[in-house]
Structure 1
Amino acid sequence: MSDAARTTVTDAVGHVEARGIDVIPDDERHGRPRALFGIWAAANVLYLYLVYGGLLVMLGLGVVEALVVCLLGNLWWFGVGWLATSGPASGTPSVVILRAVFGVRGNLVFGSALGVAIGVFFAVLNITFATLATQSLLVLLGWQEAADAGVAILVGVSAVCTVLSIFGHATIERISPYLSIVVGACFVVLGAYAVGAADWSYAAPELGMGERVALWLLGFTIIASGPLSWAASADFSRYLPASSSRRAIVGWTALGGIVPSVLITAVGIALATTIDMTEPQASIAAVVPGWFHPVILAAIVVGTIANNVLTQYSNGLYAQSLAPRVPRWMAVAVVGGIGLVLSGWLLYGAPDFLETLGYLIELSVAVMGPLMAVYAADIWLRRGAFDGVALSDTSPGSRFWYSGGWHVAGAVAMVVATTVAVLMVNTTLYVGPISALLGGADLSSIVGPLLAAGIYLGLARGVRRASPAPALVNAR
């Protein structure tokens, strides 16, 4: 079989991707790092960031404060780019690479199971927002019955996300640039209306310095939850040739996340000075002309679905690592079904939607930060070199079996750092004792990752390159 034919079979647009958690052979590698910009930009032209922007102001931050917090929190996207460099080096998804961090058995807990839990959580957020926006759009277009058809709309949105995720990498890569351009243009127009309607004299509530610092940290945690949720970035870079530039991978990935995230959050901040942001998909009507309201609602739906396609794609790989004999498409379908059920609960069973949302986002950072940190530290220790074949060996003779299948350094770093981070969390429903001692300051998104990386680097100093394969080079 020719290289071209083999690539067509395993990763072709409009066909179900044949590969799952197995190694991508060199003769099936294709593409350039710049393609990562389109993938990440499409996934981040996202309604959720509009909500985040509104939430920062609703918490009590001023416009300038909120913008600064937004910029700082999004710097975590460079971490996402750094993790993405491990994809071309190994030819495997993140959940397989994490065996180097936690060991074959330890990874089933800290990589696979935790990854599924995080993935389902963010899939639930996406499905929920897409459902609400679709419902508002259909009512606006004249189908009043849509107001009572929430469950049917929820099922439809979930089905679209799951089907596109099943098609896989090539299809996602092909459609992403077009989605990012079209949906991004709609948000640019919304931004223009938001700037014109914003109350630039808006003054944040008077607070003491201690309370204000606590709000800055809380806002930083909320914004950081976006990039911190993408520890699986190697899933979308693993088809790139092993010689791909690490610098280019980091840069294009980070830009794809930062540009739309910052701009859309800024729009949300501006809107929050003049409209009620508890239900922005409806309140936006007050600042845009009638013809544009359905357009932006449609953009919200498409952008949220695009993000969820990536989320469920990665989630399927995490799930497949728990049951390797299950094909990728089936794993995607199963986690999609779980997300559907939990989305129904968040929409129709949770006592307060926004309060529950904020609580879960803030708490999730306590787990996601340490996970990204130990992963990043391991890449640094190995100088970016990974042996995908060795990582795929799950037998007791595996190089990554360590001690009884566990890598003590990774497990200890995760448990200790996550525990400390949880004790530092400040949410609407739970305030950690350390946060309480610090006057409500939430340091979980800063201390958690730093502590995890420090512990891992200290305990795993003997780690050497996983294989004689060369690290990625800085070539175009």
Structure 2
Amino acid sequence: MSETSASSADSQQESHPPRHEFLDAATAPETRGIEIVQDDERHGKARDLFFVWSAPNLSVLNLTVGASLTIVLGLEIWQGLLVLLASSLLAILPGIVAISGPAAGTSGSVIQRALYGIRGNKIVIAFYGWFISGVFLALNWVAASFMGGELLMRWGFPNHTVALILVAVVTAAITVLVAIYGHALILRAYMGIAIVLSVIFAAVLGFLAPSIDWAFAQPEPLSGLPLWSSLTIAFALFAAAPLSFSNSADMSRYLPRDTKPSRIIAATALGNVFPAMLLTAFGIVLGGTVGAESLESGIEYSLLEKLPIWLAPAFVLAVIVNTIALNGMTTYSASMALQSIGVPIRRIPSAILIGVLGTAFTIVLVLSSSLIDAINLMLQFLLVISAPTMAVYVADIVLRRNRYDGPELFDERPGGKFWYTKGFSSPGLISVVAGAVATALFLSTTVWTGPLGAALGHLDLSAPVGMLVSAGLYALLAGPTIRKQTASS
């Protein structure tokens, strides 16, 4: 055996702990973290992923975002629906990312070592995969806190601030519990959650349907540059959700290695797109009926006023359960991020830690922010970070033809396949940074307008430009190295 081969083998022994049995059952906490899922431990079908992604996307915030197209951006209903249809094509991207999970048998936060290098990946994951996850946990919990707090006050709870904090803490605790039990619980429970949420939202929408102005038309229809500005801003708002799900490999990594990639892509993409499209479409139509004041604290508040007493609590419960489903998945992925960057912590304590961080952020936000401010902040940050990281991840999968060797991803010693230059992959890091800058330059929101976006008359080209810059640069800079790596494997 050569010295290099011996070094690589030793490094894999040291970096990859001895194999032991991990229990993946819905009735017990999942002890596996980033450890590779061996072939004899793989299970499940690609179709299971449909409900895994449906439950988080049955979100009432889709109604708010949809309504903002007609209320704030001034689009006609048919124009909003066309933008929604176009943006739904982006759901294929988390589907493509998902196929890397069964190929490598580990989490996306480890797979991305191939993109950024062993050390470079630590920077990306520490920021995006862990700290930012805590921020977005808080922003989602804020929505549930406002809704739950409002219901408690209607039931006679004496203090509004205490009500907000109480709902935030309880929601966060249940969310962390979901993350602790992990993959098997999510796989089993999210099907039931998706069905229950669908029934509740169908009842809400059915009750509201007779009062909607289906023939709504803008009193002053947009045309020319203002119309294109609103259309591109709407696309950016819709793009934020599918581009944020770069953790889809975490949910698919237990699938058998021979699962057809096309089925994984289809189940993940359709689970993402169907629920979101239906609720957002209804929100677009609803925007022609409710007033602009309904968006001040979120359209869900105005809906709460219109619902009968028996349906209002179920609606609030649906909002909270959806938040738990979405944040449960985020916490689950974030719990593996600390491990992937080298922190000596098991997955369950890591999930608790991220939950505590998110809860602290939530309490700060509910005491100082309105719901609409939180949503704007979330969408602004999401696009700048998620567009380039998603684009680079997908580009690597395509260039590498989804060939990832799990054990090699754990070789953290100099000279390893993904050590690159002093632990950093310049092509990956340059592509992400350049894409983030491009996204910010073309962004156009009420919170921030990039100079290039402003120069173009507030056309928001942030999502397509950010993705094209990142993917194009990565293909150009990383292509030769990837071809050498795949040729030798």
TM bin (shorter chain): over 0.9
Task: Between 272-281 and 40-49, report the one with greater CA deviation.
Answer: 272-281
**Counterpart Cα distance in 2 of 1:245 and 1:392:** 25
- Say which SS state the counterpart of residue 431 (structure 1) adopts: coil
The Cα of 1:144 is off from its aligned counterpart by 3.1
Q: 1:354 aligns with which of 343, 367, 372?
A: 372
Q: 1:45 aligns with which of 54, 58, 82?
A: 58
The Cα of 1:382 is off from its aligned counterpart by 1.0
One-letter code of the match for 1:247? S
Percentage of identical aligned residues: 34
Runs of 5+ unmatched residues, structure 1: 1-5, 471-476
**Counterpart Cα distance in 2 of 1:422 and 1:180:** 34
Residues 121, 339 of structure 1: 8 Å contact kept: yes
Q: 1:395 aligns with which of 413, 420, 424?
A: 413
The Cα of 1:465 is off from its aligned counterpart by 7.8
The Cα of 1:150 is off from its aligned counterpart by 1.4
Q: How does 1:316-335 map to 2 (within 5 A)?
A: 316-335=335-354
Q: 2:239 aligns with which of 224, 233, 250?
A: 224
**Counterpart Cα distance in 2 of 1:253 and 1:389:** 26
1:196-237 per-residue CA deviation (whole Å, 9 max, x = no partner) reads 221223333443421111111111111111111111110000
Is 1:212 aligned with 2:227? yes
The Cα of 1:77 is off from its aligned counterpart by 1.0
Partner residue in 2 for 1:308: 327
Partner residue in 2 for 1:164: 178
Is 1:176 aligned with 2:190? yes
Partner residue in 2 for 1:14: 27
Partner residue in 2 for 1:473: none
- Say which SS state the counterpart of residue 187 (structure 1) adopts: helix
Partner residue in 2 for 1:443: 461
The Cα of 1:262 is off from its aligned counterpart by 0.4
> What RMSD in Å do the two structures reach over aligned CA positions?
2.1
Partner residue in 2 for 1:67: 81
Residues 51, 268 of structure 1: 8 Å contact kept: yes
The Cα of 1:38 is off from its aligned counterpart by 1.1
Residues 76, 221 of structure 2: 8 Å contact kept: no
The Cα of 1:161 is off from its aligned counterpart by 0.7
**Counterpart Cα distance in 2 of 1:147 and 1:197:** 31
Task: Between 198-207 and 171-180, report the one with greater CA deviation.
Answer: 198-207
Partner residue in 2 for 1:3: none
One-letter code of the match for 1:374? V
Partner residue in 2 for 1:154: 168
**Counterpart Cα distance in 1 of 2:111 and 2:244:** 17
Per the alignment, do residues 301 and 111 of structure 1 end up closer, same or farther by CA in structure 2, a change over 3 Å counting? same
TM-score between the two structures when normalised by the length of structure 2 = 0.90
Is 1:185 aligned with 2:199? yes
Residues 121, 341 of structure 2: 8 Å contact kept: no
Residues 139, 374 of structure 2: 8 Å contact kept: no
One-letter code of the match for 1:332? A
Partner residue in 2 for 1:379: 397
**Counterpart Cα distance in 2 of 1:155 and 1:323:** 29
Residues 387, 469 of structure 1: 8 Å contact kept: no
Partner residue in 1 for 2:317: 298
1:62-110 per-residue CA deviation (whole Å, 9 max, x = no partner) reads 2222222222222211100000000000001111110101111111112
Partner residue in 1 for 2:103: 89
Task: Between 229-238 and 118-127, report the one with greater CA deviation.
Answer: 118-127
The Cα of 1:274 is off from its aligned counterpart by 2.3
Per the alignment, do residues 377 and 343 of structure 1 end up closer, same or farther by CA in structure 2, a change over 3 Å counting? same
1:163-218 per-residue CA deviation (whole Å, 9 max, x = no partner) reads 11111101111101000001111112222233322122333344342111111111
Residues 136, 281 of structure 1: 8 Å contact kept: no
Q: 1:145 aligns with which of 152, 158, 181?
A: 158
One-letter code of the match for 2:436? T
Aligned length: 463
**Counterpart Cα distance in 2 of 1:209 and 1:80:** 34
